[in-house]
């Protein structure tokens, strides 16, 4: 879903008035935000800033890093 957001972002940079693309972008962002929230609740933090940490520990340092998966 994040990739769709990136692709639409680049498309909108060169087609800023394309209303269909804007609509698709907004839908994609909403879905992406939902998935991020689910992931962070079930697994671990995806961002070190801009989201709440779990109350019991700073799992930013604990969960595996992308190059280790």
Partner 1 sequence: MWIYEKKMEHPVRVSCPDVGFAKLVITQYGGPDGELSASLRYLNQRYSMPTGAAKALLTDIGTEELAHVEMIAAMVYKLTEGADPEDFKAAGWGGQYAQHNHGLFWTDANGVPWAAKYIACLGDPITDLTEDMAAEQKARSTYEHLIQLTNDPLVKDTLRFLWQREVVHFQRFGEMLDIVQQHMNNPHMWNGCCMEK
* Interacting residues with partner 1 (CB under 8 A): 2, 48, 60-65, 67
Q: Which is nearer to partner 1, 20 or 47 (CB)?
A: 47
Q: How many C-beta atoms lie closer than 10 Å to residue 66's C-beta?
A: 5
CB 65, min distance to partner 1, A = 5
CB of 16 to partner 1, least distance (A): 15
Q: How far is CA 67 from CA 11, 31, 52, 54, 64, in A?
A: 29, 25, 24, 23, 8
Comparing CB distances to partner 1, the nearer of 18 and 32 is 32
């Amino acid at each position: 879903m994040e990739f769709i957001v990136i692709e639409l972002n680049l498309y909108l940079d060169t087609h800023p008035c394309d209303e269909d693309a804007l609509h698709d972008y907004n839908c994609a962002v909403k879905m992406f935000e939902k998935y991020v929230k689910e992931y962070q609740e079930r697994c671990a933090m995806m961002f070190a800033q801009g989201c709440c940490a779990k109350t019991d520990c700073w799992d930013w340092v604990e969960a595996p890093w992308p190059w280790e998966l």
